[in-house]
Amino acid sequence: MFRQKRGRKRLRLLVVTLGAVLLVAVMTSEAPARRSPFEPLSLFARALAFIELAYVEPVDQEEMVYGAIRGLAESLDPHSEYMDPEEYEIFKSDSDGRFAGIGVEVSTRDGWLTILAVFDGGPADKAGLLPGDRFLTIDGEEARDMRLYDAVRMIRGEPGSTVDVTIRREGTAEALERTLRRAFIEIDPVETRILHGRVVYVRIAAFQDGTARALRSALDRAVTDLKKKGGIEGVLLDLRDNGGGLLDEAVWVSDEFLATGTIVSTRGRNGQEVARYSARRGGTRPKWPMVVLVNENTASASEIVAGALQDHERATLVGVRSFGKGSVQTIFDLPGGSALKLTISRYYTPSGRSIQALGITPDRIAERPRQDGEPKPYREEELEGHLEATPRTTDDRMRKDAPAINGKVPAFFDDVPQGARGYLVLLDELG
């Protein structure tokens, strides 16, 4: 932890130093005779000066610099980005899990603004929107190739206000037109239920501020509720469709179930270790039998948890190969309220595996049949400009389809091949 903070300070210093070099380059009319490592910055400064002096129309210097920095970040990898002050505020509200909008998680796929998840009970859910739906227009503006943050700005707004959207659903001939009334959305990161046989079902929707705290409270309640019935028999941890979030929260969630050993490590440039996070003995839960559900949308921080529990043989993973986002980003605050989100390292599971562009293969494969009109899942390796996978040791775990198991499953599992199969695998492990 402390090493990471010191590293962050060094990176901040680097940003400041480069800014000083850029200023010098602007003030210098002649390039040095010998090639300098900062020559590209001099080139940039000269181009900026020419645009300001000679472009046919006046330019907004601030907007031009914002665009230049944005281009720099986007040239690196899909997860590095520059956020102007308004975009940064949106980002922070997402991390808090509180915002006003229509209740969807969106991303871009092949230039299309696409719904990744629909929040239960939100305006989009009530209007019948589904994951995989693509936005054609937002308030009459074409959504194709629209920047993600621009789209988010248009979708969000004051609670009670409306937004008109046109949706294309795969497999349907006609576009769907909807008028949605925005509402205040608050994401509950942890959902728990008591299943048959004293099994505790825990769904983690996102790793945002307070997720680990919410998990501890939920498990404490389950322990109390089941104490007179013989205690918790097993845990079914659902990480499906969890796109990740904060690294620290993933570490603390993993720590709830691990007593000792590495949870995750990160390595930066040249493979040098940046940080290592380890489990603590204090407060660790009993070694309940455990199954973790994963799918193609299990990404980033949720892959850290799944990888740690798998490598320590603390849980059996059931589902399909995860997304494969094995990189770590940090936020660098910039003057004026903007920020740079920059990929600074890859992370590695306790056994030393990098899952970047590879994902995590579960111990038991259980696929969910695709619904009519549902788009083909995509993963990290399909993102343009993604970091390349790094070599990893051969994984000798037995990979096989989950065997047929006779037994009843809770009715709320509507996708039998994954949720119910995971529950049955857990019952099988309980004997």
Catalytic residues, which ones?
300, 311, 325
| Burial environment of residue 286 by CB neighbours within 10 A (0 to 12, 13 to 18, 19 or more) | exposed
List all residues 6 or more positions away from 75 whose beta carbon is below 8 Å from its beta carbon.
385
Pairwise CA distance, residues 301 & 363, whole Å: 19
Residues 230-247 as b/e (b if ≥16 CB within 10 A, e otherwise) read eebbbbbbbbbbbbbbbb
Pairwise CA distance, residues 258 & 288, whole Å: 11
HEC secondary structure over the chain:
CHHHHHHHHHHHHHHHHHHHHHHHHHHCCCCCCCCCCCHHHHHHHHHHHHHHHHCCCCCCHHHHHHHHHHHHHHCCCCCCEEECHHHHHHHHHHHHCEEEECCEEEEEECCEEEEEEECCCCHHHHCCCCCCCEEEEECCEECCCCCHHHHHHHHCCCCCCEEEEEEECCCCCCCEEEEEECEEEECCCEEEEEEHHHEEEEEECCECCCHHHHHHHHHHHHHHHHHHHCCCCEEEEECCCCCCECHHHHHHHHHCCCCCCEEEEEECHHHCEEEEEECCCCCCCCCCCEEEEECCCCCCHHHHHHHHHHHCCCCEEEECCCCCCCEEEEEEECHHHCEEEEEEEEEECCCCCECCCCCCCCCEECCCCCCCCCCCCCCHHHCCCCCCCCCCCCCCCCCEECCCCCCCCCCCCCCHHHHHHHHHHHHHHHC
Pairwise CA distance, residues 311 & 130, whole Å: 34
Q: Cβ(199)–Cβ(233) under 8 Å?
A: yes
Q: Which of 106, 109, 162 is nearest to 129 (CA)?
A: 106
